[in-house]
Amino acid sequence: MSSGTSSDTDVPAAGSTGLDLGSRMVIILGGALASLAMVSISSVLPAMDTTLSRGPGDSLLIKQLIGGVGLAMMIGSLLTGFLLDRVPLRRLLFTAALVYVVTGTAGLYLTDLRAILASRMILGFAAAVIQITALTLVNTRLAGAARAHWMGLHISAAMICTIAVQPIAGFIGDYGWRWPFALHALALLILPAVLTIRSGGISRPAPGRRAENAPDRKTFWATFPLHYLPLAILIGSIVFIPAIYAPFLLREKGLANPSSIALVLTADSIAGALVASQYGRARQYLTRHGAFAVSFAIAAAGTLVAALSPGAIGVIVGMLIYGFGVGWFVPNLMTAIGEKLGAERQAHAVGLVKAAHFTSAGIAVAIMEPISRLYGPQATLLVMCAVSTTLLCTIVLRSLAGNALRTPGAPQASDLARQRA
């Protein structure tokens, strides 16, 4: 909707000139590559545990092959804003893509568990650079409905990648746990897009001097919404923990081969992708608080069903419900940052929030692993259900006072009172 006056969410960010073809491809593929790094080996974790684990410590390290990627993505997210200020856009993306391919495929030939973990962490750093750059392109070159639309497409593409990759990873994983690592060579597909991307559009000072509108650190922290950092950590835990521990719960219920596990994870991703693709449309009717509330409610219901189900079918149904719940988490979080800050602060702000989001994987695994050993993997899903429910209640209680769940454009109670007066 447009009106005679503009808000900060309706006006394109400073310097915004829209998206060229190269930028569009980077936005789509950037989310897909980050997703690939996180999920490509999920279905073979039990097989790797059987082959490589020599003790309780090794079992934790195997789970950290995903959690460690998240921690490395945190570091990469924090540094990407710094790098974008100093390294040309094409050069940064091209280098990150090559590093992604080399380290992502390292599991094909490395034999030491710790060496594999180190390569996975470098992979996570490269994936973060690619994704944060893609998200920054959205928030600096677009605004309003277009920003929400492309943010939803970014996450939807990531989930579609998961849909395509997980069955393939499970199928080739039946022939050996190493084979899913080969899928990271798909990062070569982003190189043509990188070579055609327009370099401008991300605020960067000229070499040797600060830009006139470059934000100082004091101003940045005065405007940055700090509560988004713990929120991002908790959201990341809800996203990553069920994906890591559900394969082990399915193994307990009699579904152990990688291809079957991959099909379950694929169904979750299909649900999430469908929801994410509709995020832009949903934001015409829901505020960001409303979108969060819906997501937390569905995620809590799904993890509860999966955790309490006595058989594999119930776990599958619960995880499918959960998949519908997580589709709006990241696009809603990133769009909210885009609405709150100017273009010159977007790279650093997006990097901070995504860093907090990625940090949650490693931290949550370290916290959940003792719980899983004592009470089983279903206990980790119950914890995530409790976290989702707590966040739902917090947002609803906080929002009721300001009616923040209302449909945009609908009259508030105070407006109606003034009209009656």
Domain boundaries, the chain: 21-199+224-408
Taking all residues of the chain, what is their mean pLDDT, rounded to a whole number?
Answer: 80
The token duo for 336 is: 């909210």
Flag whether pLDDT at 304 surpasses 90: yes
The DSSP line for 175-234 is: T-TTGGGGGGGGGGGGHHHHHHS-S-SS--PPTTS--TTPPPHHHHHHHS-TTHHHHHHH
Cβ neighbours of residue 347 closer than 8 Å, sequence gap 6 or more: 80, 81, 84, 85, 132, 136, 140, 202, 203
Please tell me the distance from the alpha carbon of residue 103 to that of residue 124, in angstroms, as a whole number. Answer: 9
- Compute CA 21 distance to the chain's CA centroid, rounded to the nearest angstrom: 23
Please tell me the distance from the alpha carbon of residue 296 to that of residue 258, in angstroms, as a whole number. Answer: 29
Four-CA torsion 6, 9, 10, 11, nearest 10 degrees: 80
The three-class DSSP label of residue 8 is coil
Burial class of residue 240 (count of CB atoms within 10 Å of its CB; 0-12, 13-18, 19+): buried
The reported pTM is: 0.66
Query: Best-predicted range by mean pLDDT among 49-58, 195-204, 247-256?
Result: 247-256
Residue range 21-199+224-408 in CATH 1.20.1250.20: yes
Flag whether pLDDT at 231 surpasses 80: yes
- How many other CB atoms sit within 10 Å of the CB of residue 169? 28
For residue 147, give the nearest of 8, 244, 36, 258 by alpha carbon.
Answer: 8
The confidence band for 93, taking pLDDT boundaries of 50, 70 and 90, is: very high
Cβ neighbours of residue 404 closer than 8 Å, sequence gap 6 or more: 287, 289, 290, 398
Please tell me the distance from the alpha carbon of residue 353 to that of residue 328, in angstroms, as a whole number. Answer: 15
Q: Within a 13 Å sphere around the CA of 149, how many CA atoms are in the beta-carbon half?
A: 9
DSSP 55: S
The token duo for 328 is: 């709006």
Q: Are the C-beta atoms of residues 304 and 355 closer than 8 Å to each other?
A: no
Angle at 131 between CA 118 and CA 74, to 5 degrees: 45
Flag whether pLDDT at 5 surpasses 70: no
Q: Per residue in 140-190, pLDDT tens?
A: 777 777 888 888 888 778 878 877 887 888 889 888 889 999 999 989 988
Flag whether pLDDT at 275 surpasses 70: yes
pLDDT of residue 200: 54
The percentage of the chain sitting over the pLDDT mark of 90, rounded to a whole number, equals: 20
Q: Per residue in 262-272, pLDDT tens?
A: 788 778 878 88
Q: Per residue in 98-116, pLDDT tens?
A: 999 999 999 998 888 899 9
